[in-house]
Structure 1
Amino acid sequence: MLAENHHLTVYSVGSTIEKNEDASARTNRLVAGASGDNAMSEPKRVAIIGASAIPVGRHQTADAEELHTLEHEVLLRLVLEATRDAGVDKRDIESLVFTLPRPYTRQKYLHTFMIGKLKLPCRGTVLEVMGNGMTAALALDQACNEILLGRAKVALALGINMETAVSAAEHAMSSMRTTGDVDFHVPAGFTPISWYAMDAARYMHEHGATQEQLAAVAVKNRYHASLNPLAQYRKPVTTQEVLAQRPIVEPLGLYDVPPRGDGAACLVLASEEVARATGRPYVLIQGRGFQHDGSHQISDVPNDMIGFEAARAASAQAYAEAGITASDLDLAELYAPCTIVEILVSEALGLVPRGRGSIAALDGETTLGGRIPISTSGGLLSRGHPSYVTSLYNYVEIAEQLRGRAGERQVKGAQWGVATGELGNYNAALVHVFEGVQ
């Protein structure tokens, strides 16, 4: 059972479904009635119509505890909240794409176990996906494909990441084995934060960036997180406080790197016809780009290590498909595990000029109210980084912002947004461009 002392608050956006409307009639109206004359003449597009998540934090319970927080109980609540937000019935769902849970998850084959708990026959696909840090981004992508391929008119992208009750040593070893090259990284103890520290040192060498400029990213993200009920750390910090933290891997300190955290989120995706039929605001996925640079985390071929070429190429694909340029964007939710990564990927996506990402952060260009707000959720540094579902939280923020429901952190008039996922040190990138429809 779900422990009372580990009660999880679920947040969703959107209004409550009208109680007087019969559920079966609603299903027929939204799904069966979504194929009109326009469906034959318009290109098929996919929309995010509902979202729900728990606050990032410590939710996992240790084996020795009397009562446990069970992953499926958390996800069941999220499915109900997200479908309510979307204005669809559970029976409308035809495909579900789960992020692969951490190896510490008690229930294996979680995807089919969840289908059993939901008592939900599906004609589409039910599966789990895995791609390290890109796992959640791939879940969204696969859920989109289910709709584009005609297997579903409504699909879920969802998942849960539990890790905080596992010892730091065990978690570090698991992460090393997952991400590292067994011939080099693992024996040398070359952790992911080490990759990013190398990036930071190179960037500071090439562009004269300072630790104060890197710290500006952490300060900005904590400010954004202070306005987000889903964020793990909400107390604002100063530049001096960031610089005073103990070093992790030089030149990165404690507030330059992400915390460990548990999290879970659910997104409801639908064909554009279904989205229209709900009569509610929705978010169209207008562009998608992917690029892998052919290396495993750190390239053994001399290259521009801070160019993030995969992100540059993937974003160019996504912008072209959406028919926009970087200058059309109103906000960005970036998969950026460290301060330096946000700086580098913002440059690779064309949000700021090359070599000026750290200056843009210091000058307030990427803060709410600035030219191009980045990580309005608080980002991985402050909202939190439950890695296998991190990108789902990015999409939750995009859905809130582009539907005008972000409260105090709302970007005024936001219509276009971009979100990224990465495989490791941006050796691969998955970029999605979104447009809000009110």
Structure 2
Amino acid sequence: MNGNVAVMGASAIPIGRHQSDPNGPLQTLEHEILAKLVVQAARDAHIEKDDIGGLVFTSPRTYTRQKYLHTFMANYLRLPCDGTVMEVMGNGMTAALAFDEAANQIRLGRAKVVLALGINMESAISSTEHAMSSMRATGDIDFHATAGFIPISWYAMDATRYMYQYGATREQIASVAVKNRYHASLNPLAQYRKPISLEDVLAQRPIVEPLGLYEVPPRGDGAACIVLASEEVARSTGRPYALLRGRGFHHEGAHQISEVPNDMIEFNAAVRAGAAAYREAGIEARDIDIAEVYAPCTIVEVIVSEALGFFARGEGAAAAAAKETTLGGRIPISTSGGLTSRGHPALVTSLYNVVELVDQLLNRAGERQVTDARWGLTTGELGNYNAALVHVLEAIR
């Protein structure tokens, strides 16, 4: 391994509807969006085009118009690289893996500057087609898919079990959605920015009991680009940067929901990955100033906040209701608005988490700035937390 990895800059488009009707006369082209983001991110990082030595892309949706996107983009950008040019895929963990691999390229000495980037286009595809594709991608086709068992279904079971086991209330869990929408109202990249009340959340139609419309992620398009570099390069600019201090990963050897009886609301993978990241960074959970977590539903944010050590088991929902995870609280979580309000273009979601951490750690998050934020944490997920990837960053100003 070769030195430390810095995050120097980032860019992203607002999450929402960007994809064109597949049958329309004009098309929004993925490579045109990404090319602009590369230029913006390089400018943000104060690097030149010739500095870039590697490109790690998130694999695009199957219905993305341009296939073999990573090598197409290398050509479109006229960007020869000695480091890797590749795509990665891991369902909801895809973007976290792209960030991870970009960091690895620098650690291995294969490049001094590497971009982690990608685009997720899905809003113009019918809900039926998208749901069928998602079920085949996230579940066992002989069990989950044939029963129409979507990811929200197992998160709903988590919520039911959590309320039964710990006596948490529906209102406490729903308060996460209110908090996330408040944070999103301060974020220009967020898909939904109109504040909502607890009454609004509870009044929405159910998606899968007990989770309602505002407690599950919307569909949307997104694209983001992160600039990673050796600390030597980052230091040479004379500008602030975020240093990657810790990394942890664990896969339970299970696909989504395991048929082997286990503690379904412990999120063991996040417990182990988080502990490994803290050890490498030389810190503890209490040192984290801000966390951007991969939490598709309100209950997931509650349980992962416990798995990462911010709260004892069974206390996450009450803590959220007491505003301990809101801006100004003890440990602000999802200051971007989270997946329920910022949006969830799944294959690039964790890149948006990094974008938020960069803004926070470089003290440029505006109205949602966490005061004196030094340590930040971000997570990626693969299924019902059968696998988790955690990164810890430190502000260097």
**1:304 matches 2:235:** no
Report the secondary structure of 1:419's partner residue. strand
Q: Which residue of 2 aligns with 1:112?
A: 71
Check conservation: 2:216, 2:297, Cα contact below 8 A: yes
Report the secondary structure of 1:375's partner residue. coil
Supply the distance in 2 between the matched residues of 1:64 and 1:132 (Cα, whole angstroms).
27
**1:246 matches 2:205:** yes
**1:134 matches 2:96:** no
Amino acid aligned to 1:116: N
TM-score, structure 1 length as denominator?
Answer: 0.90
Deviates more, 1:293-302 or 1:134-143: 293-302
Check conservation: 2:2, 2:108, Cα contact below 8 A: no
**1:99 matches 2:91:** no
Higher CA-based Rg: 1
Report the secondary structure of 2:155's partner residue. helix
Q: Which residue of 1 aligns with 2:194?
A: 235
Q: 1:57 aligns with which of 7, 16, 21?
A: 16
- What aligned pairs does 1:14-413 form with structure 2 within 5 A after superposition? 44-413=3-372
CA deviation after TM superposition for structure 1 residue 43, in Å? 6.5
Report the secondary structure of 1:299's partner residue. coil
**1:436 matches 2:368:** no
Report the secondary structure of 2:312's partner residue. coil
Supply the distance in 1 between the matched residues of 2:138 and 2:352 (Cα, whole angstroms).
22
Check conservation: 2:2, 2:109, Cα contact below 8 A: no
Report the secondary structure of 1:174's partner residue. helix
Check conservation: 2:118, 2:225, Cα contact below 8 A: yes
Check conservation: 2:2, 2:107, Cα contact below 8 A: no
Check conservation: 2:6, 2:242, Cα contact below 8 A: yes
Supply the distance in 1 between the matched residues of 2:277 and 2:303 (Cα, whole angstroms).
18
Supply the distance in 2 between the matched residues of 1:258 and 1:210 (Cα, whole angstroms).
21
Q: Deviations over 1:223-250 (max 9, x none)?
A: 0000000000000000000000000000
Could you tell me which runs of 5 or more consecutive residues in structure 2 were left unpaired when the two chains were aligned: none
Q: Which residue of 2 aligns with 1:421?
A: 380
Q: Deviations over 1:270-301 (max 9, x none)?
A: 00000000111100010000001111110111
Misfit runs of 4+, over 2 Å: none
Supply the distance in 1 between the matched residues of 2:114 and 2:181 (Cα, whole angstroms).
33
Supply the distance in 1 between the matched residues of 2:18 and 2:2 (Cα, whole angstroms).
42
Number of equivalenced pairs: 397
CA deviation after TM superposition for structure 1 residue 385, in Å? 0.1
Supply the distance in 2 between the matched residues of 1:302 and 1:120 (Cα, whole angstroms).
50
Could you tell me which runs of 5 or more consecutive residues in structure 1 were left unpaired when the two chains were aligned: 1-41
Report the secondary structure of 2:111's partner residue. coil
Supply the distance in 2 between the matched residues of 1:103 and 1:161 (Cα, whole angstroms).
10
TM-score, structure 2 length as denominator?
Answer: 0.99
Report the secondary structure of 1:287's partner residue. strand
Deviates more, 1:183-192 or 1:337-346: 183-192
Supply the distance in 2 between the matched residues of 1:65 and 1:311 (Cα, whole angstroms).
43
Supply the distance in 2 between the matched residues of 1:198 and 1:252 (Cα, whole angstroms).
10
Amino acid aligned to 1:393: Y
Supply the distance in 2 between the matched residues of 1:348 and 1:180 (Cα, whole angstroms).
23
CA deviation after TM superposition for structure 1 residue 50, in Å? 0.8
Supply the distance in 1 between the matched residues of 2:6 and 2:313 (Cα, whole angstroms).
32
Supply the distance in 2 between the matched residues of 1:261 and 1:352 (Cα, whole angstroms).
31
Supply the distance in 2 between the matched residues of 1:356 and 1:93 (Cα, whole angstroms).
45
Amino acid aligned to 1:422: E
CA deviation after TM superposition for structure 1 residue 353, in Å? 1.3
Supply the distance in 2 between the matched residues of 1:294 and 1:67 (Cα, whole angstroms).
44
Report the secondary structure of 1:425's partner residue. coil
